[in-house]
Amino acid sequence: MVKNIEDIQKFGKDNMDATVKSLGAFSKSLQAITIEIADYSKKVFEQSAAAAEKLISAKSLEKAIEVQSDYAKSSYETFVAEATKLGELYADLAREAYKPFETQFGKVASLK
């Protein structure tokens, strides 16, 4: 009986440790995602400002259309690259937050 109580206490402590580790990994990953989004926002703002300057200084309709087309193409490429990068960061977040619990799930099965 005492052995079972000790096992349950150890299991509870291990769960708490895994939760703390998981929250630490979650927090670290969210920081990386936030930094990435802030960098992307800054980059998009700079690209938009540069495109607006070029558009204002365009001397002809053809040049304005060319500037707008180049801006649309580069914006799309930047967005796709950023979406891919953010997808990888979110996948890493899930992996790192789950990792501390992997061994705990095996222990639950052995307690039954």
pLDDT digits (tens, 9 = 90+) for 51-69: 999 999 999 999 999 999 9
Length of the chain counted residue by residue: 112
Q: How far apart are CA 81 and CA 45, in angstroms?
A: 16
Mean pLDDT value of segment 68-97: 95
Domain count, the chain: 1
Range of the domain at 98: 2-111
- Indicate the pTM of the whole model: 0.75
* All residues at 6 or more sequence positions from 51 whose CB lies less than 8 Å from its CB, including other chains: 67, 68, 70, 71
Q: How far is CA 80 from CA 40, 83, 86, 87, in A?
A: 12, 5, 10, 10
